[in-house]
Structure 1
Amino acid sequence: MGKSNLKNAVVAFLVPLPSILFYLHFLSHFQSDRNSLSPLWSWCFHHPLLLANALFFFNVNVLFWLISHIQSSHWMIDLYWTVIPVLLVHHYATHPLAQFDWWRSKIVIVLTWVWSIRLTHNYFRREKWHWGAREDWRFTDMSQQYGKHWWWISFFAVYFSQQQIFLIGICLPLSVVHSVDMPLNMWDFVAAGVCLCGIVIAYFADTQLHNFVTRNSKLKELGKPMVPNLDRGLWQYSRHPNYFGEQLWWWGLVIFAWNLGHGWTFVGSLINSMCLAYVTVLVERRMLKKEYRAEAYRLYQKTTSACVPWFRSSAIAVKNKDT
């Protein structure tokens, strides 16, 4: 492991400590002297959701933003997208005001860990097991677009809006699960099944994509023509099966919340789905800019569902229609 890689790994492990230590300090004060809490600890006790937002704001928005300017890269927030939901679910489960069904809580916590491990593994596999090798291409494009103003715009574009509002919003079902004590029922198993299906679909889709990219990299090194497009496996039924699986995961959490009488939490997942739909447009535009794959990808767009897996249209029929 190089010095830069090791430094980034150390920073990534240390950066959430302020929030974790503050929260543990709060729990220790509450357990030792719950009858005479200071105004600060009393506020932390009565407002678990606001406390999560406050910790997120100072530890992620402010601290991550400062570190990103020191390192000239917003790489870390991409990694922590996979970690923050785990921190949130444990925050909601351990807060003194929490009330919940034990089995439902354990099911959701285990599913959140499985989702996080799957996505974290995919992140490092994609980055060739390097810490901070690069930032999300969307942030790089925005930095070029906004130029000298990017230093302050990035606080709102990368962190406050894209991370805090999105992540807190789509993780609201985790809060609901730990604020309503209702016996486990059939809908909990439906929700768990949807979440698990989403994780499995996303895993196989990302694995197929990783294998495709790896093969093309080897062909490029050998000076051989690269395969223009991935249209096998799950990718023959959807142009973005990994995104579809990810959306299933979040909507599965909404079913948990809906079952507990808080169906309004679908708003977070709806906004996330709409934003992801926009991201797919950006991704496909990038695909079409690559000459070696543009023609094949245009045909792929015409014959294959954009997100929800479905049977492909006949390429011959499409070509005949075009002519």
Structure 2
Amino acid sequence: MNAAAFAVSLAVTAAAALAVLLTAFAVGLRTGRHRGVDVAWGLAFTAVALSGYALSNGHGDSGRRLLATVLVTVWGLRLSAHIRWRARGAPEDPRYARMLSRVPEGPARTRYALRMVYLLQAVLVWFVSLPVQAAQYIPHPPGPLAWTGTALWTVGLFFEAVGDRQLARFKADPANRGRIMDRGLWRYTRHPNYFGDACVWWGLFLLAADAPVGWAFVLSPLLMTWLLAFGSGKPMLERQLAANRPGWAEYASRTSGFLPLPPRRHPAPDTAPPARPHP
């Protein structure tokens, strides 16, 4: 790996992520709603991957560069398009409304939103995507570990896309209003999309891990998995569902919280979390 060229690329990809999130911030100020940052999340990853691809020309193996870039772009654009479709005509996301309500309206709230919603996510995008950026600078063709990562990415995208589609169809039926989605992939995990997201980023990590330098970036998928399972993903959503969905406790007691597993035949008591939208 050309360390000097990679360092320059890291600076440019950071600027690319920042540009996308600052654009989303400007849109949020104009519309008065900050939920658009979720659309920018996938677009920022795509911008980082495309920037890294352009800058790594002549430094990394062309096949590995293309593979990493295509996988991130497909994932990022699908996620952004889905979130944009889901949020059409919707009011502010309750997560951001609660977060920003801690600060009085005015310039202080604007600065808080910039710092805690947009700039923080720009940093996360750049950090989580480090294995992809490293993979684009590895000079040899993908090996077995990289192809294993591609297979894991495919599993992850399946869980995300199919889970999102199943949930959308469930919500579109008026008869299901107020009910818990417990069909399809949701029968085996309460969060197929979060599980899929984790698989995607561990798969992308493996694209870099078949070179020794790739293991320096193992904290990136670890952080993403922590955010999904223990940070701003699963816990926030489950608190909201526990408070607003009758039957949530029973569903949670028989359904795995993250990894897809067969439903429990005899639900364990008190496994529901104390009183988010799906991501």
State the TM-score, normalizing by the size of structure 1.
Answer: 0.74
Aligned position for 1:283: 237
- CA distance in 2 between partners of 1:153 and 1:178 (Å): 35
**Structure 1 pair 299–77 and aligned structure 2 pair: CA distance change class (3 A):** same
Question: Cα deviations across residues 99-157 of structure 1 (Å, max 9, x unaligned)?
Answer: 11122222222222321332133223313xx3x74443311111222233322111111
Q: Partner letter of residue 103 of structure 1?
A: G
How many residue pairs match? The answer is 261
| Aligned residues with identical type, % of pairs | 23
Q: Partner letter of residue 63 of structure 2?
A: W
Corresponding residue to 1:159 among 118, 130, 147: 118
Aligned position for 1:270: 222
Question: Cα deviations across residues 36-90 of structure 1 (Å, max 9, x unaligned)?
Answer: xxxxxxx999712112223433x24544434422332223321121212222112
- CA distance in 1 between partners of 2:177 and 2:97 (Å): 26
Partner SS state of residue 179, structure 1? coil
- CA distance in 1 between partners of 2:205 and 2:39 (Å): 23
Q: Partner letter of residue 175 of structure 1?
A: Q
Deviation at 1:98, TM superposition (A): 5.2
**Structure 1 pair 98–74 and aligned structure 2 pair: CA distance change class (3 A):** farther
- CA distance in 1 between partners of 2:34 and 2:58 (Å): 34
Q: Partner letter of residue 288 of structure 1?
A: A
Give ranges in structure 1 of 5+ residues lacking alignment: 1-42, 220-224
Corresponding residue to 1:234 among 180, 185, 195: 185
Name the structure with the higher helix share: 1
Residue 173 (1) aligns with residue 131 (2): yes
CA contact (8 A) 1:44 1:51 kept: no
Deviation at 1:198, TM superposition (A): 0.5
**Structure 1 pair 237–99 and aligned structure 2 pair: CA distance change class (3 A):** same
CA contact (8 A) 2:171 2:177 kept: no
Aligned-residue Cα RMSD (Å) equals 2.4
Residue 136 (1) aligns with residue 93 (2): yes
Q: Partner letter of residue 167 of structure 2?
A: L
Residue 313 (1) aligns with residue 264 (2): yes
Q: Which has the larger radius of gyration?
A: 1
Q: Partner letter of residue 11 of structure 2?
A: L
Consecutive aligned runs of 4 or more in structure 1 exceeding 6 Å deviation: 43-46
Aligned position for 1:251: 202
Residue 84 (1) aligns with residue 10 (2): no
- CA distance in 2 between partners of 1:260 and 1:306 (Å): 33
